[in-house]
Amino acid sequence: MPRLVFKGLVVSQGVVEGTLLVIRRADLLGHLPGGEPEDVEAEASRLRKACRVLRERLEELAGILPESERGVVEAQLLMLDSLASEAEELVRGERVRAEHAVKRVYEKYAELLESGGELFALRAQDLRDLARRLVSQLLEDSTAVPDYRGRVVVAEELDPIEFMEAFSLGALGAVTRTGGLTSHVSILARLRGIPYMISKDLDVSLLRDGDWAILDCVSGQLLVEPSEAERERYRALAAELEELVRLYTREAHLDPLTADGVRVEVVCNAGSIEDIRAAPDYGCGGVGLFRIEFAYMVRGEAPVEEELYEILRRGLGLLTGKPLTVRAPDIGGDKPVGFLELPREPNPQLGVRGTRLLLKHKEKLLRPFVRASLRAAVEGDLRLMFPMVSSVEEVEELVGFVKEEAESMEAEGVAVRLPKLGVMVEVPSAAILVRELVERGGLSFISFGTNDLTQYVLAADRGSPYVSHIYDELSPAVLRLVKYAAERVRGRAEIEVCGEMASRGLAVPLLVGLGVNALSVAPAFVGRVKYVIRRVRWEELSREVPRLVEQASTSREIREWIQSYLSSTGVKVFD
């Protein structure tokens, strides 16, 4: 067949080659049998039995997984219980077949989730995976387990059960058309070091089982029926990368000191308790960004203080003394929740979200979160960070609220501790006013959210393929703003970066040279980031990088300089 190339987003690095296994599946949720059940009790019993069989399968899977991976299955089990319980209510209350009840519950929550941001849309996909599995069990649709040995799996989507089955049975790597960096499958791929890529261009109708393919999860492409020269080149790359991965693994648990002895902390981003549980195994020096939005999803009421306190207490316990930086819930705008009626906005990214929503709904959102944080801070090194801040007035109001709540709780006899307070620098106004934010708010740290900062500086939606050539974290405009802000607060507050930029090998020396004190990255990238940090010299970078950022006119010039610098120091990176 003709040679094909599909480009995509690398989730987990590696280079593998083998024959394709193309997974095609019927849309079970779209073609369900009609009619009412003759016996409602029998139908409810059929649903419970199917749920029990699926639960046993998930529990069996959890039992054979390493502890760091069990959290993914535990999350699936919680979703399964909720899905089945609500579906049974429909079977009894409206006399519908179990398959239709499952589909209706899925659609109810999927519509809400898919209208939100990426993280919410990925949870909708997880919910669909479970609904499809449960319906398959109800229909007793059994298919033979494929021969995964030595295969590169390609599919529209994979659910976590399929993914773990495939790689426990010898699959080499995977490409899917849908998914995201924070999906359960992506988490599993990173935890297990399995090459995995998401390609929006993937067309499985063009592929056949048995086609030879190279999956390049370094530069992000799937090559189908490559030439012999390409195969030789990739075999060499695979060997080189394999050696680098071994080096990264060794570096992950070493101190993040530059070659001239300056410490740059490497901490991790986490989106769930299971992420925090895995963090120490990757060499994380703590958690620099704990996204707590998962506690607010798919529910009819906001989480209460006690629930939030328990989440934070558990997180601190898992880190055993290392810092946990929790971001106040960044919801609203394009991330709706079921318990708040939010306005439909033409441009939700610039609307009521983050801090704006917290201040608008203090009783439902801010107060329970702040009270839980103040209590949990007694248990360990908790740090509190507010998102989407754009003015000094917002910081003054937030900090004042936290301090008033602490005084009120102490008067009630509740044990509390005021944590270190900080803000995310995600919008240009926050970067420009950063010294005033720190001084007027008494802040201990700032954290650049470079994903949003880049899109706001360049007016380029980071999720749009039409302006992807404009969206560039190494743009001189973005870097000059980071430089300006860092210089304004140096010595007054800790400077951190928690966006994707922090994990890029080319960007690490730039951030070190601009005076960043800590980088917060996905756990899988800790070793790579430390590898770069430990081979560069702070004294040299702090002199050269500011000059480069001021003088460069294009991101190309910045890339060329940093590639030359890294080459001169013997550092190899694959970005």
Q: What is the pLDDT of residues 101-140, one digit of tens each?
A: 888 888 887 766 554 444 444 466 677 778 887 887 887 7
Structurally, the chain folds into a number of domains equal to: 3
203 in a structural domain? yes
For the four alpha carbons of 76, 79, 81 and 87, in that order, the dihedral sign comes to negative
560 in a structural domain? no
In terms of domains, do 123 and 270 share one?
no
| Residues of the chain above pLDDT 70, percent | 90
Structural domain ending residue among the three candidates 138, 166, 181: 138
Who has greater pLDDT, 353 or 558? 558
- pLDDT value of residue 143: 55
CA 425 to chain centre: 19
Q: If you average pLDDT over every residue of the chain, what do you get?
A: 87
Query: pLDDT by residue (tens digit) across 363-394?
Result: 999 999 999 999 999 999 999 999 999 999 99
Q: Is 528 annotated as a binding residue?
A: no
Cβ(36)–Cβ(228) below 8 Å: no
Among candidate residues 51, 100, 184, 361, the one labeled active-site is 184
In terms of domains, do 283 and 313 share one?
yes
- pLDDT value of residue 101: 87
In terms of domains, do 226 and 275 share one?
no
Give me the helix-helix angle, 538-551 and 555-569, nearest 10°.
160
Degrees to nearest 5, angle at CA 19 with 18 and 20: 120
What domain range is 355 assigned to? 262-550
- pLDDT value of residue 544: 97
Structural domain ending residue among the three candidates 103, 138, 173: 138
Among candidate residues 51, 217, 284, 498, the one labeled active-site is 498
Beta partners for residue 447, in sequence order: 424, 496
Q: Which residue in 185, 54, 59 sits closest to 132, CA to CA?
A: 54
Q: Is 452 annotated as a binding residue?
A: yes
Structural domain ending residue among the three candidates 123, 138, 153: 138
Q: Is 291 annotated as a binding residue?
A: yes
In terms of domains, do 406 and 537 share one?
yes
Whether the pLDDT of residue 557 is over 70: the answer is: yes
Whether the pLDDT of residue 435 is over 90: the answer is: yes
Who has greater pLDDT, 458 or 28? 458
- pLDDT value of residue 117: 44
305 in a structural domain? yes
In terms of domains, do 112 and 154 share one?
no
Whether the pLDDT of residue 341 is over 90: the answer is: no
Contacts of 573 (CB under 8 A, 6+ apart): 505, 506, 528, 532, 566
Whether the pLDDT of residue 172 is over 90: the answer is: yes
Query: DSSP characters for 166-179?
Result: HHHTT--EEEESS-
In terms of domains, do 338 and 453 share one?
yes
Q: Any idea what the CATH number is for the domain that residue 89 is in?
A: 1.10.274.10
Reduced 3-state DSSP string for 408-447: HHHHCCCCCCCCEEEEEECCHHHHHCHHHHHHHHCCCEEE
100 in a structural domain? yes
In terms of domains, do 338 and 432 share one?
yes
Residue 184 appears among annotated catalytic residues: yes
| Residues of the chain above pLDDT 90, percent | 52
In terms of domains, do 200 and 339 share one?
no
Q: Is 327 annotated as a binding residue?
A: yes
Hunting for tokens 């919801």 — which residue is that?
A: 331
What's the mean pLDDT in 450-470? 83
Q: Any idea what the CATH number is for the domain that residue 217 is in?
A: 3.50.30.10
Q: Is 277 annotated as a binding residue?
A: no
Residue 361 appears among annotated catalytic residues: no
Give me the helix-helix angle, 40-64 and 160-168, nearest 10°.
40
In terms of domains, do 313 and 425 share one?
yes
Query: 300: buried, middle or exposed (CB in 10 Å: 19+, 13-18, 0-12)?
Result: exposed
464 in a structural domain? yes
